[in-house]
């Protein structure tokens, strides 16, 4: 599986802090992808990175929702629901921490983050002008 390569043309939504968060999350997901390529990945590395993804995505969603509230974003509820769904799934991944699911998890995280940025977050880009 290919890792994320940050590209502000492709992934930038035009808000410095949010773009920074997304970049950090990509690096974390890349760590999961790296682990999934290892022959015998360590369980503690896996738990650590999953916890980081879970904690940081929680922090990111809070910041993002704070921003969306200040711009009266009309699809706020949809964003919130998407964030909750991801957070629940991330918590489950941490609690199960099943190494046999590592490749599937890497795939899921990459796909979810890509969708989060390119589909959902891109929609609020036009509302950010001047923010």
What is the SS3 assignment for 110?
Answer: helix
The verdict on 105 binding Fe ion (CB under 5 A) reads: no
From candidates 3, 42, 121, 122, binder to Fe ion by CB under 5 A: 121
The verdict on 53 binding Fe ion (CB under 5 A) reads: no
Alpha carbon separation from 107 to 21, 103, 111 (Å, rounded): 20, 6, 6
Size, binding site for Fe ion by CB under 5 A? 3
Distance in angstroms (rounded) separating the CA atoms of residues 24 and 31: 11
Distance in angstroms (rounded) separating the CA atoms of residues 51 and 71: 31
**Which residue in the block uniquely carries the two structure tokens 């990111």?**
60
The verdict on 112 binding Fe ion (CB under 5 A) reads: no
Distance in angstroms (rounded) separating the CA atoms of residues 33 and 39: 12
Name the segment binding Fe ion (CB under 5 A); options: 4-12, 38-46, 61-69, 84-92.
Answer: 61-69
Q: Which is nearer to Fe ion, 30 or 64 (CB)?
A: 64
Name the segment binding Fe ion (CB under 5 A); options: 46-54, 78-86, 96-104, 107-115.
Answer: 78-86
Distance in angstroms (rounded) separating the CA atoms of residues 22 and 124: 15
Residue 64 CB, shortest distance to Fe ion, in Å, is: 5
Footprint of Fe ion (CB under 5 A): 64, 79, 121
């Amino acid at each position: 599986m290919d890792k994320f390569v940050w590209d502000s043309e492709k992934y930038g939504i035009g808000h410095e802090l949010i773009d920074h968060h997304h970049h950090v999350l990509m690096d974390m997901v890349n760590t999961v992808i790296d682990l999934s390529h290892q022959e015998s990945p360590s369980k503690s590395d896996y738990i650590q990175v999953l916890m980081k993804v879970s904690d940081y995505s929680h922090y990111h969603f809070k910041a993002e929702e704070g921003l969306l509230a200040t711009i009266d974003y009309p699809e706020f509820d949809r964003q919130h629901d998407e964030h909750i769904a991801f957070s629940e799934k991330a918590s489950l991944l941490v609690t199960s921490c099943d190494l046999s699911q590592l490749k599937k998890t890497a795939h899921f995280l990459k796909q979810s983050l890509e969708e989060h940025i390119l589909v959902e977050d891109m929609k609020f880009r036009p509302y950010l002008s001047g923010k």
